[in-house]
Amino acid sequence: MSESGEEYLEALWYLRESGDSICRIRDIAQLLDVQPPSAVEMLRKLEKKGLVTYRRQKGIIMTEKGETEAKQIVRAHRLMEVLLNRVVHIDRRDIEEIACSCEHSISSEVATKLCIFLDHPRECPHGNGIPRGECCPEQK
Ligand SMILES: [Zn+2]
Ligand SMILES: [Zn+2]
């Protein structure tokens, strides 16, 4: 999938996390700083790939396949943040941008290795939850 397609899935994950029950075109366009027509165009592409569905009343919803992809990107992003902050001691204010530019090249295998190395962190340095991977011990 294209990097910008991945950005959309990531944005959908963030919007849901922030408590939006219905995600509308304008919400996602605003978050990604794009014009609504280009958001519509990209969401159509994602819909064709079976990653999201769009209904006027229900807004944009990720399919199971879309969820899996989004989870992988958010996981890579936040594990990278932990690595940069905790291990490399890069300031919390600067890690977001760096993590954003490398999240797309981190495979799930690499994310698993990062997760094990970092001892399965539950939160990124900004306090956002890191989606659990198969490597992670059960939450008690
Ligand atoms: Zn973060
Ligand atoms: Zn883990």
Instruction: State the average pLDDT for the chain.
Output: 93
Beta-ladder partners of 123: 129
- Rounded distance between C-alpha atoms, residue 13 and residue 70, angstroms: 7
The class (CATH top level) of 68-117 is: mainly alpha
Give CATH 1.10.10.10 domain extents, the chain: 3-62
Ligand that comes closest to the CA of residue 120: 2
Ligand 1 centroid – CA 78 distance (Å): 6
Ligand nearest to the CA of 115: 2
Distance 63 CA to ligand 2 centre (A): 24
Is it the case that residue 127 has pLDDT exceeding 80?
Answer: yes
Q: What is the rounded CA–CA span in Å between residue 112 and residue 135?
A: 6
Three-state DSSP state, 3:
helix
Q: What is the arithmetic mean of pLDDT over 70-77? A: 96
pLDDT at 70 over 80: yes
User: 3.40.1360.10, 1.10.357.10, 3.20.20.120, 1.10.10.10: which CATH number matches 3-62?
Assistant: 1.10.10.10
Residues 55, 130, 136: CA angle, nearest 5 degrees = 115
Which ligand sits closest to the CA of 17?
Answer: 1
- Distance in Å, CA 44 to ligand 1 centroid: 29
Instruction: Convert the pLDDT of each residue in 100-121 to its tens digit.
Output: 888 889 999 999 999 999 999 9
CATH 1.10.60.10 positions along the chain are 68-117
Per-residue pLDDT tens digits for 23-67: 899 999 999 999 999 999 999 999 999 999 988 788 999 999 999
CA of 106 to the centre of ligand 1 (A): 16
How far apart are alpha carbons 72 and 89 in whole angstroms?
Answer: 24
pTM for this entry: 0.90
